[in-house]
Amino acid sequence: MQFKELDPILHSQLRLAVMSLLISVKEAEFSFLKEQTNATSGNLSVQISKLKEAGYIDITKQFNNNYPQTICKITPAGIEAFENYVKALQTYMNL
């Protein structure tokens, strides 16, 4: 059996956690990702920027009733990368 290479962008704890959350919802606010992952704001901010640079997520900054909001949404490229990552994982796990 040939092992597929794991996507280095996704193969790290926090980025994978963020992608797993975003694949399950239509969109999520920064505070939701922070709460669910228990990450610090700084670390989460850096990691979601990396995901954005890879084209895996879209980030929209907006104001809602004077409250600043950072909305994150997975892109089609992100969905494809996530699916490929899971398929690659399955080859390692013999699933």
Partner 1 sequence: MEQQILSEKESLVLISNMISKAKNYYYESGLSALLWGFTNLICFTLAYFDAVKWFAFPFNPFYLMGITFILQIYFDRKEKIFRKAVTYKDEAHTYVWTAFAISVLILTIGGGIANIGYIVLPVLLLLFGIPTFISGCISRFRPFILGGIACWILCIISLFYQTYTTYLLVALGAGLAWIIPGFILRKRFYKNIANQHNAV
Site residues for partner 1 per CB under 8 A = 6, 11-17, 20-21, 23-29, 31-32, 35-39, 43, 47, 64-65, 67, 69, 86, 89, 92-93
Smallest distance from the beta carbon of 55 to partner 1, in angstroms? 20
Torsion of the alpha carbons at 30, 51, 12 and 6, rounded to the nearest 10: 150
Planar angle of CA 52, 55, 60, nearest 5 degrees: 45
Choice between 29 and 53, CB closer to partner 1: 29
Choice between 36 and 53, CB closer to partner 1: 36
Helix (H) or strand (E) holding 10: none
